[in-house]
Amino acid sequence: MTSVLPTGGLPIGRTGRTLLTLCGAVLLAGFGLARQIEPDPRGYGTHQRLGLPGCAFQMLYRRPCPGCGMTTSLVHFARGEWSAAMRANPAGVLLALSCLGLIPWCWWSAWRGRLWAVDEPWPVLAVLVGSWGAVGLLIWMLRWLA
């Protein structure tokens, strides 16, 4: 009898499976928390509603940093307000999409005991982080020119 599940992917042990399960749960809880927060109408500063300080970069230079609007973008994304999320910070939408995709990936990998569709995790992680960083920097440069 043959298995219908693919056998590829890096094998993971009990600790890895537990961490992947927790990672998926934390990401899901993060989206749940984001739905409960009221987004700042300015398009940035929503993180201050969580007791965090304002952006020092913006205070010093009167320009947004690459992360300005990221929390606001994530909050709008979690509420299904796609255009508002893009206006706040398009890199936040990319991050939210990545996190949303990671939830089932983490749980499926944990259930299988193998990283789903990933034989070497570090190059995949480097591409994901590098792509997100490049998009964030590009958007930041465009904001500076505006």
Tens digit of each residue's pLDDT (9 = 90 or more) over 49-80: 999 999 999 999 988 888 999 999 999 999 99
pTM for the model stands at 0.87
pLDDT of residue 102: 97
Question: Which residues neighbour 18 within 8 Å (Cβ) at sequence distance 6 or greater?
Answer: 110
Contacts 24+ apart (CB under 8 A), 21-28: 21/106, 21/107, 21/110, 23/102, 23/106, 24/102, 24/103, 24/104, 24/106, 24/107, 24/110, 27/99, 27/100, 27/102, 27/103, 27/106, 28/103
Tens digit of each residue's pLDDT (9 = 90 or more) over 9-35: 899 999 999 999 999 999 999 999 999
Tens digit of each residue's pLDDT (9 = 90 or more) over 99-127: 999 999 999 999 999 999 999 999 999 99
pLDDT of residue 19: 98
